[in-house]
Structure 1
Amino acid sequence: MAVAQLAGDVDLISVDSMQVYRGMDIGTAKPSAAEQAAVRHHCIDLVDPSEEFSVAEFKSAHRAALADIADRGRRAVLVGGTGLYHRVVIDDFDLPGEWPDVRAELAAVDDTPSLFERLRAVDPAAAEKMEPGNRRRIIRALEVTIGSGRPFSSFGPGVDHYPPSPVVQIGVRRPRAVVAELIAARVRRMVASGLVDEVRTVAGSGFGRTAAQALGYKEILEHLAGRVSEDEAVETIITRTRQFAVRQERWFRRDPRVRWIDVDDDPVSDVTPIVLDALDHR
């Protein structure tokens, strides 16, 4: 926000896989209405939570956002941390297709561990990079492998291949213990701001399979179903968010094109001049 406001000619493009869903605001830390009024944001509130939204659809939405920004003579800054979405838009690689019949057959199998073992047998490289309990990703990898006849891990540029790119990538870094405390405080603020009511409201209209797996929403749904207490759900969100933050950092650390900045108690002041300088020298 500070970069866009100081630059004066910058729009922001969200690269967050869950901010595309309308009504999922608190749990995705979506920019407020006031922030969106002050600076134009793109790739936010694109579909209802009951709908599915693929990486390919995000790639298309991102291209449309870039075209709109360029047509208005403005510049774009990408913000957010969904690693695959960053790779798709920065490196512009082709994405595998979809095979609904195969996916439906796999989804009918309730035993997620057996699906993971099946994936490990046909595409060990893909299985190695997945959480054994991430049912949605496991099914998608198997769908592509079975439907296309080639391993899911063979699509894209390869996880360790980073071609030259004109995009300036900047990552912020803090000690892990500090990040852990910030995550706990952030989750508790979300709950205090009405996360439980937000999940209840969205559930009334229906969650799709992807939106229902969103971090923070999945755990609150368990609470609303009476399977865990609110306190237990909150602690689980904190734990899983910390685990996600570690995986997220590892993902971006593999990319040698990312410029890392160590930040202290005022990350905005640390990062803003560096991003502005990068914009001015492109």
Structure 2
Amino acid sequence: MTRRVALVGSTASGKSSVAMHVADEARGRGIEVELVSVDSMQVYRGMDIGTAKPTAAEQAAVRHHCIDLVDASDEFTVGDFKAAHDAAIVDIGARGASALLVGGTGLYHRVVIDDFDLPGEFRAVRGELDADPDTEAMHERLAALDPLAASRMEPGNRRRVVRALEVTIGSGRPFSSFGPGVGTYEDSPVEQIGLRWPRSVIAERITARVHSMLDAGLVDEVAALHESGMSRSAGQALGYKEIVDHLDGRISKDEAIDTIITRTRQFAVRQDRWFRRDPRVRWIDVARDPVTEVAPVVMEALTR
């Protein structure tokens, strides 16, 4: 079985720099480590700057997986990601290498480290549910069809209620039958190591990262993608949605920048909360340098 270790944490925490250092150091010891991106937006071709995608030089130096899988005009689901991840792990194992999973998309991460049984998409059912504005009434309907699933979500959480009903109706089996859900943490073959900073430091790092992305040409990148067309899922990416609003004249550039920073900070808080709920994560509190403080722990996990 291919050895897998996962590096988790919020955006701008330094995961990628740690991963690159580990892969380079491992090679120096005669150990091959390949990186698997667990990021819902790095799967899109052309979305490079705003997703902090590994550069061409980094990808040439270390083999990366689950990057540039589809065009930005394509829809991409968590099921698509699981299939891509599973194929990558087989590929990595065939070379006798180990896999270091790197990323902060919480659901994608849980699906692959816990090998969730994913239900399919039932778009006709979904269309009918989307047309119903009464989320609480749909939750009552779900409670009648699948009481366990309904008990696991708030009646007003429209996204989750609609998805659970879609699957229950479309598949003919309860949504809860597809697994225990993200609130259950069973044994996993993947060791998880988390980078944790004080929230104020992450906020500063996010501000610096956003301005660095703008200096690198984020506005031009978004303009090209916007002109060629972006899918619904790709268009929700942090940074891209706000720049599109600016390009379409809805907000000024300064407003777009401020909104990107604010929303990215909020996203980092949600990421942090998601990963902290998992008792299996081994947290490393970073004081100054994520590479020197975290890389040795990751290396030890990969070579144990």
> Same fold by TM (over 0.5)?
yes
* Distance change >3 Å, CA 261–CA 144, structure 1 → 2: same
Which residue of 1 is the match for residue 271 of structure 2? Answer: 248
Structure 2 Cα separation of the partners of residues 20 and 11 of structure 1: 17
* TM-score normalised by the chain length of structure 1: 0.89
Which residue of 1 is the match for residue 166 of structure 2? Answer: 143
Structure 2 Cα separation of the partners of residues 251 and 38 of structure 1: 31
Alignment of 1:16-55 (within 5 A): 16-55=39-78
Tell me how many residue pairs correspond in the alignment.
273
Aligned equivalent of 1:89, options 112, 125, 146: 112
Q: Deviations over 1:192-231 (max 9, x none)?
A: 2111111111112110110011111111111111101111
Structure 2 Cα separation of the partners of residues 267 and 251 of structure 1: 20
How far does residue 10 in structure 1 lie from its aligned partner after superposition?
Answer: 0.5
State the identity %: 67
Structure 1 Cα separation of the partners of residues 161 and 54 of structure 2: 31
Other structure's SS at 1:226 match: coil
* Distance change >3 Å, CA 129–CA 117, structure 1 → 2: closer
Other structure's SS at 1:126 match: coil
Contact 1:22 1:45 in 2 (8 A): yes
Structure 2 Cα separation of the partners of residues 3 and 40 of structure 1: 13
Q: Deviations over 1:143-174 (max 9, x none)?
A: 33543466756643323211112211000111
Q: Indicate the structure whose relative CO is greater, using CA pairs within 8 Å and at least 6 residues apart.
A: 2
| One-letter amino acid of the structure 2 residue matched with residue 99 of structure 1 | F
Which residue of 2 is the match for residue 7 of structure 1? Answer: 26
* Distance change >3 Å, CA 77–CA 106, structure 1 → 2: same
Which residue of 1 is the match for residue 285 of structure 2? Answer: 262
Which residue of 1 is the match for residue 298 of structure 2? Answer: 275
Other structure's SS at 2:24 match: helix
Q: Deviations over 1:171-199 (max 9, x none)?
A: 01110111111111111111121111111
* Distance change >3 Å, CA 129–CA 66, structure 1 → 2: farther
Alignment of 1:113-124 (within 5 A): 114=133, 116-117=135-136, 121=140, 122=142, 123=150
Contact 1:13 1:42 in 2 (8 A): yes
Which residue of 2 is the match for residue 235 of structure 1? Answer: 258
* Distance change >3 Å, CA 127–CA 142, structure 1 → 2: farther
Which residue of 2 is the match for residue 126 of structure 1? Answer: 153
What's the Cα RMSD here?
A: 2.2
Structure 2 Cα separation of the partners of residues 231 and 154 of structure 1: 48
Contact 1:102 1:147 in 2 (8 A): yes
1:206 to 2:225 alignment: no
* Distance change >3 Å, CA 220–CA 145, structure 1 → 2: farther
How far does residue 138 in structure 1 lie from its aligned partner after superposition?
Answer: 6.9
Other structure's SS at 2:45 match: coil
